[in-house]
Amino acid sequence: QVSVAGSGTGRGSPAVTLVQLPSGQTVHVQGVIQTPQPSVIQSPQIQTVQVATIAETDESAESEGVIDSHKRREILSRRPSYRKILNEISSDVPGVPKIEEEKSEEEGTPPNIATMAVPTSIYQTSTGQYIAIAQGGTIQISNPGSDGVQGLQALTMTNSGAPPPGATIVQYAAQSADGTQQFFVPGSQVVVQDQQRQRVPKRSAAATGDMPTYQIRAPTTALPQGVVMAASPGSLHSPQQLAEEATRKRELRLMKNREAAKECRRRKKEYVKCLESRVAVLEVQNKKLIEELETLKDICSPKTD
DNA sequence: ACGCACGAGCGTCACAAGAC
DNA sequence: GTCTTGTGACGCTCGTGCGT
């Protein structure tokens, strides 16, 4: 004897079907039959939109815009990071991959890209590139138009020697006679950008993923024309130097935030992808359960004729 | 060919949470 | 208390599809 009892399909409550098997076992099938939804993907993004809508409804009711926007921001900002959410999901569901603490290989990071060290000095060239010199002589070249870590290059100067304290100097020349970009680094060496990519439009740079290549050469001439010299923070005294230092700090902060935003967006996309795949899995499961239920109904329901 | 709408991606700002 | 990191929001640019 099997009894199938439908219940609770009211708005907001999932449909629950009770199936009593001949053995006396009762099976709860919850939410198997769902009302059509506009979208199967219900990411936290959507949830936040809903929260925002509620908040705005309150706003129109109470006419307290400032307080409400604060409240809304509070609600929105309480949402944990994508990494946390996804890792929580993955701990519940075995098949869902975790977002690694560090960047995974998934996105195809070129092997010649090193991880970004904390720079101690940062400079912007006349063509918009950023050159950061970290402790230990690592030079990082960041092209503002390129995509993600692909715009970040690290060159480690193995024989640059220890610069005098507070005296890191970058000497930059806009363009040399052979059409390459050059800048000079401690240790009397020259970093030369190859001709093939200078000021590539940011769209195509992102699409093709091509990067500027740099070579370390011995200087062929004395100081070139148009040399720009910048001092590191160690020897700052005048207001102008302080202003430069503030600008430098700001540039560094912006560069870091730029990278952080890229990383955050990458995680967000990964998170949404995971949710989508999870939805697909659940849909398959759901379908199977429905079929199973139908089979059980067929087997166990008493024949009338 | 042109204009428009739309979506994706980006840089920046503001702010909360966590680290130190 | 200060610094760093992560993320939502905003505005911008660019590519694409579509109608005219």
Q: Distance (Å, rounded) from C-alpha A114 to C-alpha A136? A: 14
- Chain B positions within 7 A of any protein Cβ atom are 9-17
Residue A86: phi and psi, rounded to 5, are -65, -40
CA of A265 to C1' of B9 (A): 9
- Residue identified by tokens 């307290």 is A64
- Chain C positions within 7 A of any protein Cβ atom are 5-9, 14-15
Strand partners, A20: A3, A26
Per-residue pLDDT of chain A (305 residues), as tens digits, is 333 333 333 333 333 334 344 445 443 433 333 333 333 333 333 333 333 333 333 333 333 333 343 443 333 333 445 656 665 555 555 555 554 444 333 333 333 333 333 333 444 443 444 444 443 334 444 443 333 333 333 333 333 333 333 333 333 333 333 333 333 333 333 333 333 333 333 333 333 333 333 333 333 333 332 233 333 444 556 777 777 888 888 888 898 888 889 888 888 888 888 888 888 899 999 999 999 999 999 998 766 56
CA of A19 to C1' of B2 (A): 64
Strand partners, A214: A193
By C1' distance from the Cα of A77, the closest nucleotide is: B16
CA of A201 to C1' of B20 (A): 41
By C1' distance from the Cα of A262, the closest nucleotide is: B10
Check: CB of residue A140 under 8 Å from CB of residue A123. no
pTM of the model: 0.44
